[in-house]
Chains A and B, each alone.
Chain A
């Protein structure tokens, strides 16, 4: 079955710097790759996603890149702000159905003011 590995588990950056979180997946049939942000005491919230027919997607300060050949995808946050501090999860999904979604273990991002 699908397996998703996420690195690093903890990331600390200075405000204004960039942050990069990387994930690899094992099932080459996966075709949907969402990223979720989870703030303390809340449920995860989708921040960006990418489908397998696209190599890169950007939304303001957030971008995701996908390399299907290498089976890895990354989240890039530029100009980080203290409010970006949270836990970020990547996931890989087969066919887009939630029942086929496997999550990474999460990255705790600290943005220091």
Chain B
């Protein structure tokens, strides 16, 4: 039982390049989330998927897209990376239906130059 896994762990992009961050969970959770973490700002929600087949915007969705590929997998795509997207990205999942706690992956540290 690996919990929430994320790939890659580190990535360096040039401005304008694109990439996809991958996330998978093996806890049979309904809901999945993407956050970014910047110094002094806590965690901010980018996009979430309340259940398989649905996605919706969080606090800071601009410049990102997501895909809920199936119940296990939720990917985050940067179409044209910008230096402002330099951050640590966390994927999380929760069971839904009264089970509120979120389980986080180890994070992806992204630098855009």
Interface set of A (CB-CB < 8 Å, partner B): 4, 6, 9, 32, 34, 36, 41-46, 49, 89, 93, 96-99, 101, 103-106
Contact = CB atoms under 8 A, between A and B. Distances in A.
A76 to B, nearest CB: 20
Interface of B: 4, 31, 33, 40-45, 48, 50, 56, 58, 90, 92, 94, 96, 98, 100-107
A109 B113 CA distance: 32
B104 A98 contact: no
B69 to A, nearest CB: 19
A32 B104 contact: no
A9 to B, nearest CB: 8
A44 B56 CA distance: 22
B16 to A, nearest CB: 29
B42 A98 contact: no
B101 A46 contact: yes
Contacts of A101: 45, 102
A46 B103 CA distance: 7
Interface centre among A44, A46, A104 (most CB of B within 10 A): A44
A105 B40 contact: yes
A99 B42 contact: no
B103 to A, nearest CB: 8
23 contacts: A32-B100, A34-B100, A34-B102, A42-B107, A43-B4, A43-B92, A43-B104, A43-B106, A43-B107, A46-B101, A46-B102, A98-B31, A98-B48, A98-B94, A99-B31, A99-B33, A99-B56, A99-B58, A101-B45, A101-B102, A103-B42, A103-B44, A105-B42
